[in-house]
Chain A
C-alpha cells in the first residue's frame, strides 16, 4: 500500500438479492490521506454502497479494500475500525431525539474508554467549532435542519477519525444552509486534518472537492480535478 493512500480499493464487488443486483462491479479507487473527494453518479450507480464498504458497514464479496492501513476483507472487529477511523455524516442527520445536543455528540465515545470529563471536554470543543455552544442542552427537535447537521458533523469528528464519510450531507437542506454546512465540513476537514469522502448528486456541491469521482454501474468511470475556487 502506498503510504500516502488512506483508501485503496481494487476490483471490489458487492451484489445483493442473490447476485441479481450488482452494486459494485469491480470498483477501483485510491484516496490520499487528507484529501477531499466527491463521489458522484446517478441513483443506483453504487455511490452509497461504496461509502458503506469504506465505512465498514458492509463487507464486499470480492476484491480488496484497505482503509487506514486495515484490510477490511479480513478484520473481524469492524466496530472497532468504525469507532476509531470513521466519522459518518448522513443525509438525515440521524440524531437521537431524546438526547441533548451535547449527549448526541458524546455517543460515539462510549466505545473509546474516554472518561466522562474528557468526553464532555471534546464534545464541547467540537460544538464550539460548529457554533452551537449555546445549544448544548437543547433537544435536536428544537433545532433547525442546518443546526442538526452541524451537530451530526461534530458527532462525526468526536473520535478524531481519519476519514469523514458524508452521504448527501446537504440533501435535506436548502441551498444557503447547504453551503454553510459544506464550508464547515471543508473547514473542519483541513483543521482536523481528516480525509473527506462525500457522496453527492449535486454538481455544485461536488465542485467543492479536490477531486470528483464519477461512479456508474458499480465502477469508477473517471476522475475529474475541478478548477480551483476562490474563497
Chain B
C-alpha cells in the first residue's frame, strides 16, 4: 500500500487528463449512479431485444437452408403445421412428374399430448412447439431427412422398418434432458433415441422424427400424409414450380415456399424490431435527460473549480473535453453494465423457462453490441455537449467569484 511517501508509489503518482476525466463523474456517486441506471435500462432493452430478435432471424434463415425442400404442399384449407393425414401417400411420387421437381417426400405431422415423456417435464412444456404444448412428431422416410433440413445426425438415423426408434431435435432433447440411447414414452410406447439433430430452425429442433409408417400406425392414418416436401431442380424457379403444382391440382393442393415462410416470420420480426427501437429510444431519451441533468448539476457545483482551471491556463477546449469526457464515461459505464445485465438476464430467463428457451436461441452478433455501444456513446456526447459548452464559456473572474 502506498501511504503518502514518494518511494514505492511510482505507478499511483502518474496522472493524466484521462484519469481526471474518469475520476470526476464519481464525486457525487449517488447522482452518477442514477444517471447510469437510466442509460443502462435503455442499453438492456437494446441488447436483450437484439439478442432475441437476432436469434429468431437466424432461425428464419435456417428455413432457407440449401438442401432442404423449398416447397411444402398441403391440402387446400388445412394448416401447414396441422396434424393428421389428409393427403394420400402416393401424392409424393405423383408430384415428381411435374416439371422442375427434383425430389419429394411425404411427411405426417402429429402432436403427442401424452404426459409420460419425462418424469420431471410434462409434454406441455416440451420444446415449446404445438399449441398448448405437446411434442411435435414428424413421420418421414429416413433417406429424405435432408429435405426437412436435417443434414447430420449425432448418433444414427432410425431405420424405416423400425417401430421403436426416433431421432430428436437438440432443443427438445435439452429440454427433456435426453440423450442418444435414452428412451422416451410416446403414445404409451417406449422409443429409443438413436440420434439427435440440430438444423437451426427452432420449430424443427423442437420436434421428434420417426419412420413415416410407424407414425401412420400410431395415429391410425394408414397411407396418409399431411404434407409433401418438394425440392426443385437447380435451374428451376421455385415460384413457377409452386404454381405448376397448384395448377395441376386445382382446389386440392396449396403450396407454401420456404421463402414465403421466411418472409412471413421476417414481417413479424420487423414489427418486433420497430417496437424494440421505439422502446429503446424512449429509454434512451429518459437516460439522456438524466445525463444532461447530472452534468449540468456537476458544472454548477464546480463553477469555482472551472474558474481555477481557467486561471491556471486551461484552454476552453480542454474544459469542454473534460466535461464531455465525463459524460461519455457515464454512458459507456452504463453500456458495460447494461450489456452484462442484458446477456445474463436473457440467458437466465431462457434457462429458467425451457418453453421459451426451446424456441429462442439468443444471437450474440457483434452488431447488436456495436449498436448499443454507439447509442451509449452518442447519448454521452449529446447529453454532455450543452453542459460542456456552458462550462467552457464561463468567465474566469465570474467563475472564481461563484459561491
- State the A residues within 8 Å of B (CB): 52, 55, 57-58, 79-80, 82-84, 86, 88, 90, 94, 96-99, 102-103, 106-108, 110-112, 116-117, 119-120, 124, 133-138, 155, 159
Contacts and interface: CB of A to CB of B under 8 A. Distances in A.
B366 interface: no
A1 to B, nearest CB: 23
B312 A107 contact: yes
B347 interface: no
A82 B318 CA distance: 15
Given A99-B20, A103-B20, A116-B16, 16 more contacts: A55-B311, A58-B396, A58-B397, A79-B314, A79-B315, A97-B27, A98-B23, A102-B13, A108-B312, A108-B313, A119-B15, A124-B6, A133-B6, A137-B4, A137-B12, A159-B312
B15 A88 contact: no
Given A79-B313, A102-B15, A134-B4, A110 B318 contact: yes
Interface stretch (B188-196, B301-309, B328-336): B301-309
Contacts of B17: 110
A220 B234 CA distance: 100
B220 to A, nearest CB: 79
A1 B392 CA distance: 34
Nearest to A105: B15
Chain B contact residues: helix, strand, loop or mixed: helix
Contact of B4 (A82, A106, A135): A135
B26 to A, nearest CB: 8
A57 B311 contact: yes
Contacts, number: 93
24 contacts: A57-B310, A57-B396, A57-B397, A79-B314, A80-B313, A84-B313, A88-B312, A94-B308, A94-B400, A98-B26, A102-B13, A106-B15, A110-B314, A111-B314, A112-B313, A116-B16, A120-B13, A124-B6, A135-B4, A136-B6, A137-B4, A137-B12, A138-B4, A155-B312
Interface in B4-20: 4-6, 9, 12-17, 20
Contacts of B5: 134, 136
Interface residues of B, number: 34
Chain A contact residues: helix, strand, loop or mixed: helix
Contacts of A159: 312-313
Contacts of B395: 58
A103 B15 contact: yes
Contacts of B16: 116
Nearest to B309: A107
Nearest to B15: A103
Give the most central of B304, B305, B308: most A CB within 10 Å: B308
Contacts of A135: 4
A108 B311 CA distance: 9
Given A99-B20, A116-B15, A136 B4 contact: yes
Interface string B379-395: 00000000000000001
Nearest to A120: B13
Contacts of B307: 94
A57 B12 CA distance: 33
B2 interface: yes
B183 interface: no
Contacts of A107: 309, 312
Contact of A136 (B13, B26, B309, B312): B13
Interface string B6-49: 10010011111100100110110000000000000000000000
